[in-house]
Amino acid sequence: MITYLKHPRLNHPQLVAAWPGMGFVAVKTVNCLLEDLSPERFAYINPGDYFSISSVVVENGVATIPALPEGNFYSWKNSLPGGDLILFMGEAQPSARLQLKQAREIVTLAKGAGAVRIFTFAAAPSPIQHKDTPRIWGVANSPRARGYLLKNDIQLLQHGQVSGLNGLLLGAAAREGLPGVCLLGDIPYYTVNLENPRVTRAILETMEKLLPIKLDYFHLDREIRRSDKEISQMGKKAQETMASFFQGEIDEDQDQGEGEFEEAIADETGETEEAPEEESDEHKVLPEPARRRIEELFRRMKRDISQAPSLKRELDKWGVYQEYEDRFLDLFRNQNKQQDN
C-alpha cells in the first residue's frame, strides 16, 4: 500500500525509478538526480507489505532490529517548459514473487499522477575496460516507446533481458498502456559488484537530452577519478599475485591432474588435440574439446587459485589468453577481495 504525505499537482510528469542492481547503476543514477534536483518526498510504499525481518544487527556487542528497506516517491516541479518529474527510489528489491505486485502498485501511482512515460536503468556487462567510454543502450516496452528511443539516437538492445524490478516495471507499464524505456550502460565484467560512476555519468548525459534537466557533474567526476584509481590498484595487485604463481615449476601433482583431464577428454571425444599452428588471423577457432577443457580449468581455479598456472598455460597454448583475460584476472580480484575482508 502507498501512503501519501501530500498530493502534488504535476504537469505531464515522467516517472524515473530505480532499485539496486549490477554495478549499482540504477540507484546511483537516481541518487544523483535526487541530489541535483532536490525534489520533495510526497509518498512511500509500506515496507511491511514486501519485506520481513529475519535477523538482528549486532554492533559493539549489542543486537538491534534493523529498519525495513524503504521505497520513497519524490516530486520535482520544472520551472521551464517540458514537464515535471516523479522519482522513485527503492532501497531493496522484494522477493521474486512480490516484485510484479510492487511494479503494478508503482504504475498505478504513475498513471494516477498523469505520467506520460517511465524510465528505468540497468547495467550491460561487456568486454570493456573500466576507463573505456561506456555505450548506452535502450529497451522499450512498446513500438511507440521504441520510436522515441530511435528518434533520440539511442541504440536499441536487440537481445537479452533486464532482470528484477528495473525490468519488470516496463512490463507492468506496458500492460497499462504507459510507455516506458530502460537505459542500460556498458560495464566491465570484472566490475559487476562495484559501483560504476562512469556509466552513471554516461546515462545522466543521455537523460539530459531526454528530460528538461541540467546537471552538475563536479562530484561525480571526482568519484570517477577515485574509482579508476581503486580499480587500477586492484588490477595491479591481481597481476602481482598472478605473477607469483608463475615463478618456478608447476608441481607434479598439478601436471598429473591436468594429464588425467586431457585423457578424459580424449576418451570422451575419441580424439586428441595438438596446439594449433600460428595463425595470421587474430580470431582463432577453438576446438570444442579444448574449450571444454578450459572451462573445467576455470572451475578448478575458482576452487583452488593455485591451479592458475595450468589454466594460463592452456590459454597460451591455444593463443586465446586475450579472449579470456578479464575473466582470468577477475578470479584473482575476487581472491584478493576475500583476503582483504
DSSP state of 47: G
**Beta carbons within 8 Å of 192's beta carbon, 6+ residues apart:** 22, 23, 123, 125
pLDDT of 270 reads: 42
pLDDT confidence band for 238 (50 / 70 / 90): low
The topology under which CATH files domain 2-52+65-214 is Rossmann fold (3.40.50)
Say if residue 340's pLDDT is above 70.
no
pLDDT confidence band for 261 (50 / 70 / 90): very low
pLDDT confidence band for 232 (50 / 70 / 90): confident
pLDDT of 249 reads: 41
Percentage of the chain lying above the pLDDT 90 cut: 55
Residues 294-335: pLDDT tens digits? 888 888 888 777 677 778 888 878 888 878 887 887 776 665
Taking only Cα atoms into account, the Rg of the chain, rounded to an integer number of angstroms, comes to 25
Residues 43-66: pLDDT tens digits? 999 999 999 998 998 999 999 999
Say if residue 230's pLDDT is above 80.
yes
Find the mean pLDDT for residues 187-199: 88
Higher-confidence residue of 268 and 293: namely: 293
Q: 156 with 139: CB under 8 angstroms?
A: yes
Query: Which residue, among 85, 53, 50, has the nearest Cα to 67 in the 3D structure?
Result: 53
Say if residue 338's pLDDT is above 70.
no
Q: 26 with 163: CB under 8 angstroms?
A: no
- Angstrom distance (rounded) from CA 155 to CA 139: 9
pLDDT of 239 reads: 55
Higher-confidence residue of 316 and 24: namely: 24
pLDDT confidence band for 159 (50 / 70 / 90): confident
Predicted TM-score (pTM) of the model is 0.70
Query: Which residue, among 13, 339, 20, has the nearest Cα to 192 in the 3D structure?
Result: 20
pLDDT confidence band for 103 (50 / 70 / 90): very high
- Angstrom distance (rounded) from CA 340 to CA 106: 40
pLDDT confidence band for 114 (50 / 70 / 90): very high
Q: 121 with 24: CB under 8 angstroms?
A: no
pLDDT confidence band for 273 (50 / 70 / 90): very low
C-alpha cell at 154: 539511442
| C-alpha dist (Å) from residue 202 to 21, 36, 117 | 17, 16, 21
pLDDT of 286 reads: 72
Say if residue 281's pLDDT is above 60.
no
Higher-confidence residue of 301 and 71: namely: 71
pLDDT confidence band for 189 (50 / 70 / 90): confident
DSSP state of 43: E
**Per mean pLDDT, which range of 54-63, 218-227, 275-284 is the poorest?**
275-284
Find the mean pLDDT for residues 274-300: 67
CA dihedral 235, 236, 241, 242 (to 10 degrees): 70
pLDDT of 194 reads: 86
Query: Can you say whether the dihedral through the CA atoms of 61, 62, 67, 68 is positive or negative?
Result: positive
pLDDT of 245 reads: 55
Say if residue 121's pLDDT is above 60.
yes
Residues of each domain in the chain carrying CATH 3.40.50.10900: 2-52+65-214
pLDDT confidence band for 172 (50 / 70 / 90): very high
Please name every residue paired with 183 in a beta bridge, in sequence order, or none if there are none.
121, 138
Q: 326 with 127: CB under 8 angstroms?
A: yes
Please name every residue paired with 137 in a beta bridge, in sequence order, or none if there are none.
155, 184
pLDDT of 240 reads: 57
Q: Collapsing DSSP states into helix, strand and coil, what is residue 133?
A: coil
Higher-confidence residue of 77 and 239: namely: 77
- Angstrom distance (rounded) from CA 340 to CA 334: 10
Cell 577443457 found at: 293
pLDDT of 283 reads: 45
- Angstrom distance (rounded) from CA 185 to CA 181: 13
